[in-house]
Structure 1
Amino acid sequence: MSVFEKPLLLFTVNHSEGDKYKFFMKATLLEQMKRDYIHIKQTKAVTREQVERQEECLKDLKQEFLQKKERYENLSSVGKMKETLEELKKMMAWCLVREKERLVQQLQEQIDTEGSNHKHEENLQLCQNKVTVAEKELQEIQSRLHSRKEEEESLSEDCRKIKEEVKSKNKAQKEQEVVYFRAVNKLKQSEKEQSLLHERIHKVKNIGSQNKKAEAEHTKRLQKISSLRTQLEKHETQCTALNQEIKDRQQALFKGKEELDKLRLEEKNIQVSMEAKLKRKNQLLASRSNKLKRFGDNMPDLLDNIDKAYIQGRFTKKPLGPIGACINLKDPALAVAVESCLRSFMKTFCCDNYKDEAVLQDLMSRYFSKGNRPQIIVSPFSPPSTRFKDGNKWSRSPRLPSVLDSLSIANPVIANCLIDMRGIESILIIKEKNAARRVMQQGRPPRNCREAFTVEGDQVYPNRYYTPDFSMAKYLGGDLETEIRMVESELENYKAQLSRFQLHLSSVNEDIQRMEAKLHSTIMTLKKTLATVNQVKAGVTELGEC
């Protein structure tokens, strides 16, 4: 249990049951537990606000993700085009294989026909041997054969070669004189065969001329096929270069669009900041005539409705607030430090009971949306005889004032509320940063002190240090005109930044449009080249089939 001084003990014994209950709460440390619970509740409210802000950012990120996903799906069509190109190359290779097979087959057929011709030539040679033997033996037959030999000499060079071969083989046939008598009997049959052989010779001559023409045509076809293949290789090389160029241009376009998205996001952030500053400027201008408008444009109307509802008897006790309007600074230079300490408590209202809280919530719903309503603290209002609570837990230092010491609070309800909810009696204000670090972190902090704030609003704990996200007082600022001038200067800076970003955005947009035009032109060139490749392939296939 806690040990209290004797005067305080007598004070609690001689007072009412409520004071005895409070004494019991302090003695059993339930008061500290209540203060911790209220601190946790406040932290929960702050965390909830941060979660709502993060959810709004999450929506923007989700939209950006959908845009990136759509771009990625568009890029997958390039891979399909590459797969199609590989399949076409394989088909072209098989077409070339088929063409070679056809050429081999044609050559085989020509070899077979030439083999049959050699057989006829051998038969012709045998018959001519028999004829020559018969010419030597029979002069009558020689006279008739002489005329036919003259006709044979007029034949083509191929026939002359055949006759020379026949003459060379006549010497070998001299040994076959025994066959002479048999040849005489077969002379008539030889004459018939000779006539048939003449016809065959003419046919062979015609076939030779046809083969020469076919070979000439085949040579021309091969030359055409060779030239077409050269063109095909040239166009395929061009297609490869165009595909690489398209890939490079797509990457450059993708980077340009990423840069554009970043610039748009920065532009949006600047616009949001400028709108916030413009709203703040309007509040400051309005607060020239009514200081309550610093807490919101609808705050004066809300307070008027609270007064009317209290007159009508809807409240048991009139709510107090906003707290920032109920406190005054002893030193205006400490405005940033006090606001950094109190934060959301500056717009908080105090109610005596939950019935009054429900009425106040109904009045607030007319002027504030659900997520932007001021906080309401429900705690029974202290009697006027009780000034401040729990004086033994105050941080007392002759050189270092607490937040409570820096404030002039006319209403004890407001003071006790800030003591209970924020513990301002144990929070010091140390003007210099180095002094704050030295007091709180390099040595033992003063008695009952758990944190401190500097003039700039820095929050100092024994084991950590935080810097605020604002540098000017929003509710407790003394020099209104100076603050208005500073806000206007910041607005001008934001406008200049916004104009620079817009110029940059327009130039990036123009670059993206130029890149898209060049990419489209390259794609059209690739399509035309592919069409030419298909035509050349068709020509090669057609010539190969012929």
Structure 2
Amino acid sequence: MAKRKVVIDDDDEAQDVSSQHSKRARTADSDEDIIEHSQHRNRPVRSNGKMRQEDSEDDEDDEGPTEEEHNEEEEQRFEEVNGEAIRQRLEQKRDTFGGIAEHGIIESIEMHHFMCHKRLTFTFGPQINFIIGHNGSGKSAVLSAITVALGGKANSTGRGSGLKSFIREGQPASEITISLKNQGEEAYKPKDYGKSIIVTRKFTKDGSSSWKIKSKDGKVISTKRDELSAICDHMNIQVDNPMNVLSQDAARQFLSASHPSDKYKFFLRGTQLSQLSEEYDTCLDNINQTKKVLHQKKQVLPDLRATFKEASVRFEEASKAREQRFKVDELKKELAWAHVAAKQTELQKQIDEVAKAQRRLPKIEAEMQTAESQFKLATDAVEQFEREFSELGDIDHFTKQRDDLQEKMRINRGKIGNFKNDEKQMNTSLTALNRSIDDYTKHIAEEEDRLAADTQVKRDELNRKLESARNAVAKADQTNKDFLEAKRQKLAEQENIKQRGVAAEARKNSAQERISAAQSMISQCKEKGQNALAPYGRNIKHVLDQIAQMRWYGEPPIGPLGMYVKLKDGLWADLMRIQLGSLMSAFAITDARDRVQLKKLLEHTNNNHINIIISERDMFDYSSGEPPAHVPTVLRVLEITDPFVLRLLINQANIERVVVAPKRLDADNILRGLAGGGVAWAADYMRVHRFAEGGGQSIKLNKIPPNDPRNMLFTSSDSASVLSTWEENLRNAEDEFKAAQAEAHQLRQEYQKFAREISGMNAQERSFYETLRAAKHELTSLQEEAKEEMPADIAGLQSAKEEAEAEKANIMQQYEDAVSRRTAIDEEQKVLLAESNKVKAQIQNFEEARGGVRAKIEDAAASRLTSQSNNAHYAKKLDDERKKVEALQTIEKQLKEEFLNWTAGAEEYCTRVESPRKVDEVERNLESVQKALKERERRHGATVEQMTIEVNNAKAVLDNAEGELKSLAALNNALKRSLVVRLNRWQEFRRHIALRCKVVFQYHLSNRGYYGKILFDHVQQTLQLKVQTDDQMATQGRDKDPRSLSGGEKSFSTICLLLSLWDAIGCPLRCLDEFDVFMDAVNRRISMKMMIDTANASDKKQYILITPQDMGSIHVGQTVRVHRMSDPERGQGILAFS
């Protein structure tokens, strides 16, 4: 069987260092195990000015042991033997439930001022936990809190680069508390901590961070990070392992766009094979480092050999003294130019530093310019909103009008109360008078019967006259009443004609306004027929031509936005003009520095009203913000041809989520059916807002003035048809104006006619009144005469009766007058109430408008303050960098002067020496030669015995060094052989784990009726999935590549892979964020059931799964706990970590 060497090279001048990415070889699907190593380049070694030759005593260590490659037949036998056992264990676990972990799982977590949460607490179940909620509710913050609290790296969460980014906006610090279960025989320090370990981590804006590790009863046991690490190691908790805590970004990448190499990395890291491999790499690096140290020690051997050689040949050096003196001179010359070369190197390094610092200046200037542009933009916004606020004016006149109306209504209510009291008193008086009159009549009749015999003839004549006078009074009174009724009817007819005249005048004025509007629209239609850009502003064609010719920092401005927007149904035309009209004429830029240039161009063409939007070209996915497909939205009634313009309108007006409806009631009903409320625009000019917590608000939309160019927006593309329509409207309005004018003229003549008739009736009324008064006077005279003829008793009774009747008539007249005045006041009160309600509505609309503008001013002011702070920051930074550049340039100037001076001095000393060595090396050689020369000069003072001892000592030192190096090299080789054994064992681990992943993956795929396999390529470090979704006979057993799968199939297959990888790791905690974002309903239901079944069967494991989807269609058992997050709060700003 062929073998491949496991190469760990021992060459003295070439070291092999294993790399993390090329070390492991394929096992499961290929049949070779290879450990590859990168090689260092060969480097010569100088010592004492000479090239030393190195011995190669360790040549026998050049090759390490070898490892057998597995061929396909052996691999197949391996899978048959072990795969069936794995399948049997899976079948045995199918209907079993795993035990609950006694330690290492999370009991609860509490967050204070963490990310978007003010305070959030969860109590987790021991096995399966689902956290659900809408997007933006802060679900992913739970996993980030777990990672941060248990000592994980902040950047591993994918939510921030540091702890400070997790602190809630506006708060100085954040705190997370986690309770870990600590029970059973393997509990961590149960005497100290008890049944739970409470870990609290607090970190502040200034960067400080602290831990408190407490017992079950709250006693602080430790505040050290090492204690937390010991707890996590004891409980096998690995929060930085992406397979244990799979964050939202990592989950999306893993589920939707994970590359085979990324899946392979997840496999290694999740199963801790990567960690073990890295530790072996560290061992290998230490072995290679030891070889480097040995290599460096071996480089000393030439010096020792040289010492020995120098001692051996010292007797022969006397003849070389002259050559050594010459060499000293040459070394001095080389030293002079070596100093020059060193100074040149120092100068060049300083020049590079200056250039590097100067390259930073334009970047800072650009950032400062951007900040200035943003400040100016915010300032313009503040000024614009302040102008809008000023243009609103005040409501003092409305307030005064309301107070006056309320005062009048209060006075009228008092009058009505008085009238009611008077009527009550009158009814009481009438009852008493009627009773008195009846008594008087009875007594008079009795007296008259007694005296009838004596005065009957005379009394009959007097009674006849009285009856005739009474009839005359009654006739005159009736005539007067009939005349007054005729006059009242005449006045009513006159008032009716007056009201009809007012209505005719109103129709005439309305028709006149429609005539003006139609004339204006006809003019605009004609202009639009000649210039399609007319509705967006003045001379827009020239603006677009100038934009095409000018140069811009970012992309050329796009606009007007209305060029890319069409309306599908004319029903919504007026509504879209009101709500989106100003956006249709807007322009968009991608670089804030282009705003000044574009603003000047628009002002030059008198288009100051056109807004400028600054936005990057971000093609984000907006589908998550849309309501169900059956709900009509602004986006769904528009046809937008440019995707960038579409996203601009989404950012500016939320068109993907604003609902449209024909009537206000329809809009309110639609919003009630949506979870979380929302905003709707109704075609009857109403804006409806339904709040998430309940309640709502409706606001009347202001119509566009007739002469506003926005009236030409969202009209038919056929200008001739639109023009014809408006001409027809003009003719109808003119006809209505003429008819209303004629009717008003006729009614005015009739009103004047009635006025003359009523004036004549007033004179007749005085004549009738005089006739009635004369008749009453005649009746009074006859009654006085009758009283004189009557006896005293009868006359007294008659006089009392007449007084009572007169008082009754007076009270009746007062009652009629009171009722008439009360009726008039009631009518006046109704008019005052209507006017008061109208004024109150105007005040309310004004307050709402002013409140909206005030909120815009506050937001723009806050943005301006931020921009101003950024501008000051970059200005200071730019000043500091300029000072730094000046300081570096000063040093460069000094070094340049020194270099020139040194070069001139060296040229005066000797000719230039090309490519001199380093200064310390030349000085060392010069010192050695000078020392040897002095020793030669003193040589004659030394004996032969002394020279012999010196040679023997040098030989002993050399032998001792060579023996020590040989023994250390043997030890290093033994360590290498041990490492090779461990690497073989590591490959066996990987082989078994890979096979288990394959079998578990196929097992999970079978839940959906699929068939597939995992292909491991350990050489290329890839992990690929092959899935067969159709019947094998129909597809001839062909496997599908994941890229050909649908989104749901791909996500389901990747979930199966994830579960198979989870089956191979030992951490008691599994956290997964948004695993079902790309799944359809069927795959999601099966995946959820499969995950729940797998979790139930897992022994002593806790699952925390996060999903934005609803759990209504998923059956949850007793082992599953669902935590629902509340909906996100709107209008709370942008998170600071973006």
Smaller-chain TM-score bracket: 0.3 to 0.5
Structure with higher RCO (Cα < 8 A, 6+ apart): 2
TM value normalised by structure 1? 0.41
The structure where helix makes up a greater share of residues is: 1
User: Whose strand proportion is higher, 1 or 2?
Assistant: 2
